[in-house]
Amino acid sequence: MSESDHDEATETSIAGSDSHWSLSRDWERIASLLIAAAYLLVSPFLFPADSWAHLVADIFIRLLSLAFPLACIWFAEDLAEYYRDGNLAPEITTPSPATFVRLGGWVLLLLPVLLFLLIQLLDYLYR
């Protein structure tokens, strides 16, 4: 096998992979992971727990609440392709644009910060 055949085989195996990872979306994955980690680190200080069990439960609940927004951001293309012609009301009969799925994930991920800022603004305006 010559060197050019080896290079051609390598290019084919890379191009033929079914990976949906792209370098252009890596910044979104890293940023969303950093925001999620910040939520997990800051929440025990903002909402102190009464006991060790409450702290563990709080972190577990926050992990579960971060799973869906992170999935929407990280795997928007795969989630956008899902549709169902069943007993879902309203029925989803066509795939969604991946950009909307990713945008929805960002809104859900940043919703606590947006609500906090809204409360601070209302408190400042009506004080």
Which has more confidence, 11 or 46?
A: 46
Dump the DSSP string for 43-105.
Answer: HHHHS--SSHHHHHHHHHHHHHHHHHHHHHHHTHHHHHT--B-SS-SS-B-SPPPHHHHHHHH
Q: What integer pLDDT is reported at residue 110 of this predicted model?
A: 95
Please state the domain extents for the chain. 24-125
Q: Count Cβ atoms within 10 A of the Cβ of residue 71 and give its class: 0-12 exposed, 13-18 middle, 19 or more buried.
A: middle
What integer pLDDT is reported at residue 43 of this predicted model?
87
Q: Which of 39-43, 73-77, 78-82, 121-125 is predicted least confidently?
A: 78-82
Mean pLDDT rounded to a whole number for the chain: 80
Higher pLDDT, 93 or 14: 93
Tally of residues, the chain: 127
Query: Is residue 16 pLDDT above 50, yes or no?
Result: no
Q: How much of the chain, in percent, has pLDDT values that exceed 90?
A: 47
